[in-house]
Amino acid sequence: MGLEMELLLLAWSYFRHRKFQLCADLCMQMLEKSPYDQIEWILKARALNEVVYIDEIDIDQEGIAGMILNKNAQVPRPGTSLKLPGSNQTGGPSPAVRPITQAGIPITGFLRPSVQSGRPSTMEQAIRTPRTAYTAYPITSSSGRFFKLVMALFEYIFHHENDVKTAVDLAALSTEHSQYKDWWWKVQIGECYYRLGMYLEAEKQFKSALKQQEMVDTFLYLAKVYISLDQPVTALNLFKQGLDKFPGEVTLLCGIARIYEEMNNISSATEYHKEVLKQDNTQVEVTACTGSNHFYSDQPEAALWFYRRFLQKGVYNCQLFNNLGLCCFYAQQYDMTLTSFEHALSLAENEEEVAEVWHNLEHVAVGIGDMNLAHQCFRLGLVNSNNRAETYNNLAVLEMRKGHVKHMGDLQRSYIAAQKSEAAFPDHLGT
């Protein structure tokens, strides 16, 4: 008995220190001797869920259902849809200065999971694109051990095994057993419906759960449904209702700011970013977005101050030093410009990141009037990534200034080919 307790404490220690695979393996060893021990069974299920942990609220990968809805939807009014964002409402530079996506949405200063993975452009890609692992919902306290076991089983089926059909059946039976009074199970059914693309059914479940128990996560899930239905105004109203119940909640404020960013209302997004920083000045996403907004509002000194805060937090990567180099250059702190770009090149993890750094060095060389250095930067950028449309275009402009018309024509053809194969990259990386 003593040895089993020591092994259980060791497994729990592995779990607390986020060594989830070691925890699961140790629990499996204990279960081989005692297959019906519920504590080890629950701990193993939680550990396996945590191995594949990704925050599901931030994941918004469009599947077949979303593509069908978008295909059949009518053209919305500007400012009421994320598919047709409104015009820039700031007093600063126009969207032509700030890089934007093909959908017209401005590039933010933070690379979120939803934009990192990208959306499938065809039905075949939506079918072939594998679903990533989803977040494990924290196990809540319950009056009976039976419900804890069922909750752990549901989470394992839904998050680890990705068997949505079995998970929704189990959740429906559990909801019926609780006489439809358990808000947690309604949220889980809503998650299953959302995963299956049944947004209206998911909306009903989340609304019913909110009537029983108002939780921040439920507001976030319901807002995600409205965003999938391309109803950003409804999502904004929901977030504001949530703020009435949970004043100063950072996740709700961030949700409002994200929607305003995607609607190209940068001024309103900036106001909510400021409110987030008042509540939590260590929030990474808002710090990066605020620095990006200052940079594109012709305030590189202020942007530099925000990006330096990441160095104080211990962030040390290519994207950060790339941004620092640009801010130093436009703030006329030339002594730190090349040093920052050297750090960025040394920290680049792949050829695309190297090409991004050389692309920004191109602008530095053009800014100081050194066209030979700019030409070399263009060439080095294409060596690392030969499908960058912007680099071909800029190199063609340099060849035109030199009078090399033949070279300019070849580069323009390469520019058109690159533009067809892949959209132009922004010159300002997100942190």
Burial 54-77 (b: 16+ CB within 10 A, else e): eebbbbbebbebbbeeeeeeeeee
DSSP summary character for residue 182: -
Q: What's the rounded Cα separation, in Å, for the pair 394 and 33?
A: 68
What string of pLDDT tens digits covers the 431 residues of the chain? 567 778 888 988 998 998 999 999 999 888 888 887 888 888 888 888 888 766 667 655 554 445 545 555 555 665 666 766 665 544 444 434 666 665 556 677 666 655 544 444 443 443 333 333 333 333 333 344 556 778 888 888 888 888 899 999 999 999 998 899 999 999 999 999 999 999 999 999 999 999 999 999 999 999 999 999 999 999 999 999 999 999 999 999 999 999 999 888 989 999 999 999 999 988 888 999 999 999 988 999 999 999 999 998 888 899 999 999 999 999 988 889 989 999 999 999 888 889 889 888 988 888 888 888 888 887 888 888 777 777 777 777 777 777 766 655 555 555 565 555 444 334 443 43
What pLDDT, in 10s, does the model give residues 116-152?
A: 444 444 434 433 333 333 333 333 333 445 567 788 8
What pLDDT, in 10s, does the model give residues 252-264?
A: 999 999 999 988 8
Q: What's the rounded Cα separation, in Å, for the pair 178 and 140?
A: 15
- Domains of the chain, by residue range, sit at 1-51, 316-431
Give CB contacts under 8 A, 24+ apart, made by 208-215: 208/183, 209/183, 209/184, 210/183, 212/181, 212/183, 212/186, 213/183, 214/245, 215/183, 215/187
Q: What's the rounded Cα separation, in Å, for the pair 109 and 390?
A: 20
Copy the structure tokens of residue 338. Answer: 């090349």
Copy the structure tokens of residue 192. Answer: 């299953």
Q: Mapping DSSP to helix (H, G, I), strand (E, B) and coil, where does residue 210 land?
A: helix
Q: What's the rounded Cα separation, in Å, for the pair 290 and 313?
A: 16
**CATH, range 316-431:** 1.25.40.10
Residues sharing a CB contact under 8 Å with residue 20, sequence separation 6 or more, in sequence order? 14, 47, 48, 50, 51
Q: What's the rounded Cα separation, in Å, for the pair 291 and 333?
A: 17
Q: What's the rounded Cα separation, in Å, for the pair 77 and 194?
A: 26
Q: Is 104 left (phi over 0), alpha (psi -120 to 50) or beta?
A: left
DSSP summary character for residue 58: G
Residue corresponding to tokens 């393996």: 25
Beta-bridge mates of residue 106: 100
